[in-house]
Amino acid sequence: MTLSIAATTQSLTPETVYGLLEKVRRQQPRVHAITNAVAQAFTANTLLALGAVPSMTLAPDEVAGFAASADALLVNLGTLDETRRAAIPLAIEAACAAGRPVCIDPVFVDRSPSRCAFALTLMASRPDLVRLNTAELEALFPERAKADALIAGGTVLAVTGAEDKIESEGEDFRLLNGHPLMSRVTATGCAGGAVLAAFCAVEGDKALAAACGLSVFNIAGELAAMRAGGPGSLVPELLDALYGLCLRDIETRLQSA
């Protein structure tokens, strides 16, 4: 789907990307992540390697307090069980009331009509960022005008694929980093969504935050793939690459159309 919102396509500089990464490392934002059961441990470790602080509770009686006191909220629909269905609206309401950025990853809405309907109810909260692939985008917004309306209301769309596209009302980004091996390990996309939430916690320009966060995660993935022998060793290499990522790595590898 090609979005029709008029915006200027921007190029990232390595200095901008690294500057936001260093801001995350200095501020150590806490990201409350309501994510799927498969991704929880990897997501928490990804945030820690990045320099952020995870919290992960799903309990409906306490999730609002955790979301309101965090610096950003991530909602991932990968395993949408009854506990998560109950906790997610409470967390979003609390985060919005506290002025915290909300990032939603509507995983597999293209596979489940009930999940898609639930995700659409979450869009009414006007999340700061929605991260999704093309199939998920088309399932949520079969009519382009509805996606445009969400963007016009201030939501940033991060559409991931061979080329990552950041769509916002004022500026767009096209990003070309990443490695095919990342798709051979479960939860890399989910963990990447948490990285975007951490960047949104420290940067008011959510399109820029998303572009920098995706670039950092995907460059780390490229470095990890170079060092790994296969999917089994990619995860520890990815965590190490995130932890040690430096300006030179970004200068050498950043691809922003």
Query: What pLDDT does 257 receive?
Result: 72
Q: How far, in Å, CA of 166 to CA of 115, rounded?
A: 24
Q: How far, in Å, CA of 42 to CA of 10, rounded?
A: 31
The helix or strand, by DSSP H or E, that contains position 235, with its residue range, turns out to be: helix 231-244
Those residues whose C-beta lies under 8 Å from the C-beta of residue 178, and which sit 6 or more positions away, are 164, 218, 221, 222
Whose tokens are 């906790």? That residue is 87
Query: What pLDDT does 2 receive?
Result: 46
Distances (CA, A) of 146 to 1, 69, 81, 156, 207: 12, 32, 27, 13, 19
The helix or strand, by DSSP H or E, that contains position 74, with its residue range, turns out to be: strand 72-76
DSSP letters of 200-220?
HHH-S-HHHHHHHHHHHHHHH
Query: What pLDDT does 226 receive?
Result: 96
The helix or strand, by DSSP H or E, that contains position 91, with its residue range, turns out to be: helix 82-97
Query: What pLDDT does 170 receive?
Result: 84
Burial class of residue 93 (count of CB atoms within 10 Å of its CB; 0-12, 13-18, 19+): middle
DSSP designation for 93: H
Enumerate residue ranges in the chain where pLDDT < 70.
1-8
The count of residues in the chain is 257
Residue 5 is which amino acid?
A: I
Query: What pLDDT does 120 receive?
Result: 97
DSSP letters of 7-65?
-EEE---HHHHHHHHHHHHHH--EEEEE--TTTHHHHHHHHHHHT-EEE----TTTHHH
Residue 208 is which amino acid?
A: L
pTM of the predicted structure, to 2 decimals: 0.95
The helix or strand, by DSSP H or E, that contains position 132, with its residue range, turns out to be: strand 129-133
Contact 3, 167 (CB under 8 A): yes
